[in-house]
Amino acid sequence: MGASGLSVGRLGLGTMTWGGDVAPDTARALLRTFVDAGGDLVDTAPAYGGGRAEELLGRFMRSDLRRDDLVIATKAGFGTHGGSQVVDTSKGALLDDLADSLRRLRTDHVDLWQVHAWGDAPLEETLAALDQAVSAGMVRYVGVCNYIGWQLGTAAAWQRAVPGRARLVSGQIEYSLLARRAEVEVLPALQHHGMGLFPWSPLGRGVLTGKYRGGTPRDSRGGRDHMAWFIEPYLDARSNAVVDAVARAADGLRLTTAQVALLWVRDAPGVTAPLLGARTVQQLSSLLSVDDQTLPKPIVAALDDVTGGPHLGRE
């Protein structure tokens, strides 16, 4: 993971829908499938299912596999309270979140603890919570999520400025063929500070699977009232053209549209591990099956061009 000593597999398993759209039995099957295929990184958060995702993961580590089989990444500083989304990155709030996460996960430490979002608390206070958690042994490595370029660079430089502070080792942000904004400032900042990248929604919030080409399926996230807002930005004409291009490439390579979209992200410069938010074992197994495959360079170049131009990090 970047310049750190932490190693993870090429793909991560996301748990945002656990305890909500994904039932416990399905979550257990997803985790088992992922680990059996050699995966280890599982990304969760207190905000996922109001803590339910962490609770399920903690239960499965007692009943289905060993704690040492996983690299657990969780977050702090963001949640839903009283029906409203609240960002609180104060030191007290972050450490309270961590204590609750450890209880739900039934473990004495997490491998990667991430600030879920940029908040209003003084940055030095937020980062002091990371230092304290690492010093106390509750956290092995730390990172940030959803920081834009200047925020990430400022936080990373602050942690590097004084020996003994916990260096940031990773950043997590949306990144896919439909969302390449991270290439402008975030990816260069991560590279400069020796940090790894975990792309969330590498399949364009599910749109790059091609399932929305003929409309919005009722059983999709876009067909559900509580998630339609999340999908809608990628149901425009530009996104449709990108999906069509990915589908043509997939047909020629005898892959699925989702597999091509994933391979493009997984092998993009600076990426550590895309986070897979599969909701069924069938979806996950299909994505895991292309572990030993890569896209031909002409296909990569064509997809770069149709989605915004050459990736400056490619050779």
Give the model confidence (pLDDT) of 248-269 as tens digits: 999 999 999 999 999 999 999 9
What pLDDT score was predicted for residue 113?
A: 98
Q: Is 142 a residue whose pLDDT tops 90?
A: yes
Q: What H or E segment, with its residue span, contains residue 49?
A: none
Question: What tens digit of pLDDT does each residue of 19-45 get?
Answer: 888 999 999 999 999 999 999 999 999
Q: Is 215 a residue whose pLDDT tops 80?
A: no
The answer to the question of residue 36 being in a domain is yes
Give percent of the chain above pLDDT 90: 88
Please state, in angstroms and rounded to a whole number, the distance separating the CA atoms of residues 93 and 133: 13
What pLDDT score was predicted for residue 313?
A: 80
Residue 84 pLDDT grade (very low, low, confident, very high; cuts 50, 70, 90) = confident
The answer to whether the CB of 121 falls within 8 A of the CB of 91 is yes
The answer to the question of residue 215 being in a domain is no
The answer to the question of residue 257 being in a domain is no
Give percent of the chain above pLDDT 70: 96
Task: Say which amino acid occupies 25.
Answer: D
What pLDDT score was predicted for residue 196?
A: 97
Cα distances (Å, whole numbers) of residue 314 to 183, 233, 264, 311:
11, 28, 12, 6
- Mean pLDDT over residues 274-288, rounded? 97
Q: Write down the pTM of the prediction.
A: 0.95
- Mean pLDDT over residues 199-212, rounded? 96
Residue 184 pLDDT grade (very low, low, confident, very high; cuts 50, 70, 90) = very high
The answer to the question of residue 220 being in a domain is no
199 versus 312: which is more confidently predicted?
A: 199
Instruction: List the beta strands (DSSP E) in 31-94.
Output: 41-43, 71-76, 78-81, 84-87
Q: Is 315 a residue whose pLDDT tops 70?
A: no
Is-catalytic flag, 48? Answer: yes
What pLDDT score was predicted for residue 227?
A: 74
What pLDDT score was predicted for residue 164?
A: 95
Query: Which CATH number is 115's domain given?
Result: 3.20.20.100
Closest CA to 61 of 108, 10, 99, 1: 108
Burial of 48 (0-12, 13-18, 19+ CB in 10 A): buried
Cα distances (Å, whole numbers) of residue 264 to 241, 285, 310:
17, 18, 13
What pLDDT score was predicted for residue 100?
A: 97
For 49-63, 199-213, 223-237, 263-277, which range has the lowest pLDDT when averaged over its residues?
Answer: 223-237
Q: Is 64 a residue whose pLDDT tops 70?
A: yes
Buried b (16+ CB within 10 A) or exposed e, 11-26: bbbbbbbbbbbbeeeb
- Which member of 48, 175, 212, 234 is catalytic? 48
The answer to the question of residue 244 being in a domain is no
Q: Which domain holds residue 70?
A: 12-207+265-293
User: By three-state DSSP, how is residue 244 classified?
Assistant: helix
What pLDDT score was predicted for residue 221?
A: 67
The answer to the question of residue 137 being in a domain is yes
The answer to the question of residue 198 being in a domain is yes
The answer to the question of residue 241 being in a domain is no
- Mean pLDDT over residues 54-82, rounded? 93
CA-based torsion, 174, 179, 185, 189: positive or negative = positive
- Mean pLDDT over residues 34-59, rounded? 97
User: By three-state DSSP, how is residue 33 classified?
Assistant: helix
Q: Count of domains in the chain?
A: 1
